[in-house]
Structure 1
Amino acid sequence: MVSKVLVANRGEIACRILRACNEAGLASVAIYAENDSSSMFVELADEAVLLSGETIAETYLDQQQILSIAESTGADAIHPGFGFLSERADFARAVTQAGLQWVGPSPEAIEKMGDKMTARITMRAAGVPVIPGEEIEHEDESDALAAIEEASHRVGYPMLLKASSGGGGKGMRAVHSPDQLIESAKGARREAIAAFGDGRVYVERLLTGSKHVEIQVLADRHGRTIHLGERECSVQRRHQKVFEEAPCATMTPELREAMGQAAVAAAEAVDYEGAGTVEFLLAPTGEFFFLEMNTRIQVEHPVTELVTGVDLVREQLRIAAGEAMSCGPLMIRGHAIEVRLYAEDASNNFLPAIGPLAVFRPPEGPGVRLDTGVREGDEVTPNYDPMLAKLIVW
Structure 2
Amino acid sequence: MGTQANLTKSEAFIAKESQYGAHNYHPLPVVLEKGEGVFVWDVEGNKYFDFLSAYSAVNQGHCHPRIIRALNEQAAKLTLTSRAFYNNKLGDFEEYMCELFGYDKALVMNSGVEAVETALKLCRKWAYTVKGVAADQAKIVFAKDNFHGRTISVISASNDETSTKGFGPFVSGMVQVPYNDVQAFAQLLASDKNIAGFIVEPIQGEAGIIIPDEGYLRAIRELCTINNVLLIVDEIQTGIARTGSLLASYDVSAKEHGSKADILILGKALSGGVLPVSAVLADDEIMLTIKPGEHGSTYGGNPLACAVAVEALQVVLDEGLAANSKKMGEIFRAGLEDIARRLGLIKEVRGKGLLTAIEMDCSEDDDLAWNVCLKFKENGLLAKPTHGNKIRLAPPLVINQAQIEESLGLIEKSLKSFV
- TM bin (shorter chain): 0.3 to 0.5
Higher normalized helix content (fraction of residues): 2
Normalised TM-score (structure 1)? 0.33
Normalised TM-score (structure 2)? 0.31
Higher normalized strand content (fraction of residues): 1
Kindly indicate whether structure 1 or structure 2 has the higher relative contact order, using CA contacts under 8 Å at least 6 residues apart: 2
